[in-house]
Amino acid sequence: MQISVDQDICIGAGQCALTAPQVFTQDDDGLSEVLPGREDGHGSPLVREAARACPVSAITVAEG
Write out the residues near ligand SF4 by the rule CB under 6 A. Answer: 5, 10-16, 32, 54-56, 58-59
Closest contact distance (angstroms) between CB of 21 and ligand SF4 is 11
DSSP summary character for residue 36: T
Query: Nearest approach, Cβ of 43 to ligand SF4 (angstroms)?
Result: 20
Separation between Cα atoms, residue 48 and residue 27, nearest integer Å:
21
Is-contact 24 32, C-beta < 8 A? yes
Residue 27 or 40: the one with the smaller Cβ distance to ligand SF4 is 27
CB 9 within 8 A of CB 60: no
40 vs 49, beta carbon nearer ligand SF4: 49
